Structure formats: C-alpha cells, structure tokens
C-alpha cells in the first residue's frame, strides 16, 4: 500500500505544475471531477488507516493519551477534527460497508459520509438492521443531489421512506440523537495570532446558537446611513458589545479574587501626549488612541504609571460615570447620542467630551452616551462633539463629509 500511495503521490505532484489554463472547458470540468473523486477515495483510505491505528492502540503505545491527540500532532489537526475522524472511521468499520464503499467509489464526500453514518446509527437503533441497510441506499442516492446540510435535514425523515410504520415514533428518537451529537461536537477554539488578535472557530449547539443570535443580531444592524462596516465587522462589534454589557453587570465570577475586568497599563505621559502604547494585563499592546478610548469606559480599570513605574492612579472612582451621574446621563441622552443610532443605554459607554487625561471633569456637562461602535468612531475620526445651547449633545461632521459642517443630533431618542 505504501508503494501504491507513493505512486499516486507522484502522479498528483505531476499534475500540480500542469498548465490548467491550456485546458478547454470540458477538460477543465472533467479534471475537477476527477480530482474531487480522488480526494474522496483517499479519504476512504485514510479512514481505514485511522481505524486500524486506533484498533491496535498505536497512539497509546507511542505515548499519546488518545488516537485523536496523536493525530493532532501527526497530521496537525485540531483535536475536534481528529476526534470526528476517529469516530467516523469506527462507524464505517462497524456495520456500514455501503457507506465506506460509496466513499471509496467517489460517489459521496467525507462530510456526506459523516451525515449518512450518523443517520444510519439512529435508524438502526429505531428500526433495526434491515431498515438501516435500506436507508444507506436511499441516502447515498440523495447524496448525488444534496449537500451535507440538506442531506442531514432530509435524513431526519428517512424512516418515512424505509419504515413508515414507525416513522413518527422514531422521529423523536432522531431528534434526541441529533441533540446528543450537537452536545458532543460543541466546541469553541480561541487561537491567538502573532499580532495579538484572536481567531474564533467552533460549533455551537442549538441552544447556544439561539442565544448568540438573539444577543448579536439586534446589534449587527447598520448603525445609521453612514455606517460603512461590512456584515462581518458589525457582528464582530456586536460580540464586543455583548461582552462589555456582561462586564458591566458585575455578575461574572471573580477572577483571582477580583471582579472580571480589563486592566490597561500605560504611563501618564503616554496617555496625555498620545505617545507610545499601552499594555493589557494579558500582555497584548494597544495603540495610544485605543488606550484613551478605553479610559472613558466604566467597565475598564485604568492603571496609570509614573516615570518610575509607580502607580499614580488605579481606576479613580471620580473619573468613572457611575451611580447618580450615570442615571442623569441616561435620562438626558436616552441611548447612544450619535445621530441616527438606536442603541439603548445599556449598550453604551460614558464618553468624556473633553478627555479626563487632558483635564476634563467627570460631570454631566462633559459626558455623553455612545455605543461601542460610535465610541470608537469618535476617537478615531474627525467628528467634533459638544453640548448645544440646550445642553444636549450635537455632533459636527468632518469637512470631507459635510463641507458646511452643520451640527447633527440624534432624534431617535427624542421625547414624544
């Protein structure tokens, strides 16, 4: 087998440098179909090898705690992906030769094989081996027309086709099995990138997915006609807003004896002169503009250091807009004050119009409610903010947006 796989590897390597641009349309499509079929056949071989390695205990013999962990190190997979590979290899080895053969023939994809195997397990439990064998044939035929997601949905009613007399009773069992798979497969991976950003990947179960959508969907809408963020950026900012709200509640578990919070460390000169950067307590660095914006937020605990590193200020309460002052601010602004924004007060930070690091006081005449998006917008763009003659916030747009720079107000929260 090793020799044959080496020959296949050489054949594929020879195709890598072929001039695909020289192929006609029919040849191009035929080559794509062939490459895709080969990929599925190789997947069948991989599953057979994984199953044998798992069955022999090779991974544990080499010091790994499980085959999934061994595959992570060997093939550079994530543990959830490796575990799904081991589980599918076991499923195809125990009573599902039809699925394995369909994959080996290139008639179904690896993802479709996983869907079919999950469905057949449920059918076998509910209706027995004969119905399961019939279901394999039906699902393999459907796989020629439907992608894995739709195939899974159709599979929930497979008993209508192979065992209609028990279909209704088995539907409940199928739903429970699907819930069990969702619970098994749920995971969230937080990967730190070299520049300090995080990459989130994962799969949520139905309940967590519903909670996430309920939390971020209302916050993911454009924040006005001038909102230039794409949908992905709006969802990102919505998730950040949800986290800010959770921190603001004060109901999160303690972290090392302290309430959950973000600590930003910077020097006084850095903060007042906007030079250098700041550091989070987890070791990541922030731009001076970001530090100044975070210093406005009551959910942030600033740690300002003198030239010798001595703490000069650790979250002075008089800087933070809390208690009666926060309530007065909510009564005045009734939500994000930026023109056209409908975000309610609970999603808003208290922004100092004249920054506290520049000598600005913490009082009602120097504060305004801004949602997370518009708080960033004000700190990083050329808008000017002031209180009008009636002591309500008004925003002066930059000249490139409005040459006349006419003041704008938020009329969404106006009293009726």
Q: Is the pLDDT of residue 4 over 70?
A: yes
Which of the given ranges, 246-250, 280-284, 318-322, 330-334, has the highest pLDDT on average?
330-334
Lowest mean pLDDT among 17-31, 80-94, 213-227: 213-227
DSSP character at residue 254: P
The top-scoring range by mean pLDDT among 256-270, 340-354, 380-394 is 380-394
Q: Model's pTM, two decimal places? A: 0.45
Residue range 84-110: average pLDDT? 86
Bigger pLDDT: 158 vs 284: 158
pLDDT at position 395 is: 92
Give the whole-angstrom CA distance, residue 282 versus residue 293.
18
Report how far residue 100's alpha carbon sits from residue 103's, in angstroms, rounded to the nearest whole number.
Answer: 5
Task: Round to whole Å and give the CA distance between 364 and 393.
Answer: 11
pLDDT band at 307 (very low <50, low <70, confident <90, very high): very low
The mean-pLDDT minimum among 43-47, 313-317, 362-366 falls in: 313-317
How does residue 53 score in pLDDT terms, banded at 50, 70 and 90?
very high
Is pLDDT above 60 for 226?
yes
- Measured CA to CA, the distance from residue 352 to residue 375 in angstroms comes to 10
Q: Are strands 300-305 and 311-314 parallel, antiparallel or unpaired?
A: antiparallel
CB atoms within 10 A of CB 63: 8
C-alpha 267/C-alpha 109 separation (Å) is 57
| 372 CB-near residues (< 8 Å, 6+ apart) | 237, 240, 241, 244, 347, 349
Residue 297 has pLDDT above 70, yes or no: no
| pLDDT cut 70: percent of the chain above it | 76
pLDDT in tens, 113-151: 988 888 888 787 777 778 888 888 888 888 888 898 888
Is pLDDT at 221 greater than 60 in this prediction? yes
* Residue whose C-alpha is closest to residue 79's, from 59, 109, 62: 59
Asked if 277 and 283 count as a contact pair (C-beta separation under 8 A), the reply is: no
Residue 49: pLDDT band by 50, 70, 90 thresholds?
very high
- The model's confidence at residue 309, banded by pLDDT at 50, 70 and 90, is very low
3-class state of residue 78 by DSSP:
coil
Phi-psi region of 78 (alpha: psi -120 to 50; beta: other; left: phi over 0): beta
């Amino acid at each position: 087998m090793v020799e044959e796989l080496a020959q296949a590897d050489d054949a594929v390597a020879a195709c890598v440098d072929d001039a695909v641009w020289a192929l006609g349309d029919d040849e191009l499509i035929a080559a794509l179909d062939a490459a895709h079929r080969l990929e599925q056949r190789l997947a069948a071989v991989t599953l057979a090898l994984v199953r044998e390695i798992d069955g022999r205990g090779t991974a544990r013999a080499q010091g790994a705690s499980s085959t999934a962990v061994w595959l992570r190190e060997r093939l550079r997979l994530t543990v959830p992906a490796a575990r799904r590979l081991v589980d599918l290899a076991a499923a195809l080895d125990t009573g599902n030769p039809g699925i394995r053969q369909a994959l080996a023939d290139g008639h179904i994809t690896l993802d479709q094989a996983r869907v079919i195997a999950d469905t057949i397990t449920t059918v076998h439990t509910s209706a027995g081996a004969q119905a399961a064998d019939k279901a394999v044939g039906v699902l393999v035929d459907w796989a020629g027309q439907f992608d894995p997601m739709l195939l899974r949905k159709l599979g929930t009613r497979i008993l209508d086709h192979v065992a209609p007399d028990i279909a209704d009773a088995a539907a409940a069992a199928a739903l429970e099995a699907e819930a069990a798979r969702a619970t098994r497969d749920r995971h969230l991976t937080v990967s730190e990138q070299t520049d300090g950003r995080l990459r989130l990947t994962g799969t949520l179960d139905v309940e967590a997915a519903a909670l996430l959508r309920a939390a971020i969907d209302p916050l993911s809408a454009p924040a006005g006609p001038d909102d230039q963020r794409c949908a992905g950026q709006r969802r990102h900012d919505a998730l950040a807003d949800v986290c800010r709200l959770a921190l603001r509640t004060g109901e999160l578990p303690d972290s090392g004896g302290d309430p959950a919070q973000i600590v930003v460390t910077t020097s006084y000169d850095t903060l007042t002169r906007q030079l250098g950067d700041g550091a989070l307590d987890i070791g990541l660095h922030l731009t001076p503009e970001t530090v100044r914006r975070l210093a406005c937020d009551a959910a942030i605990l600033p740690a300002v250091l003198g030239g010798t590193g001595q703490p000069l200020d650790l979250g002075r309460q008089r800087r933070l807009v809390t208690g009666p002052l926060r309530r007065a601010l909510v009564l005045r602004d009734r939500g994000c004050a930026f023109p056209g924004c409908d975000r309610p007060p609970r999603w808003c930070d208290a922004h100092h119009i004249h920054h506290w690091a520049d000598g600005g006081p913490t009082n009602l005449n120097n504060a305004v409610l801004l949602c997370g998006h518009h708080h960033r917008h004000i700190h990083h763009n050329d808008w000017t903010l002031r209180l009008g003659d009636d002591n309500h916030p008004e925003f002066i747009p930059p000249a490139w947006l409005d040459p006349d720079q006419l003041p704008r107000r938020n009329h969404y929260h106006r009293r009726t």
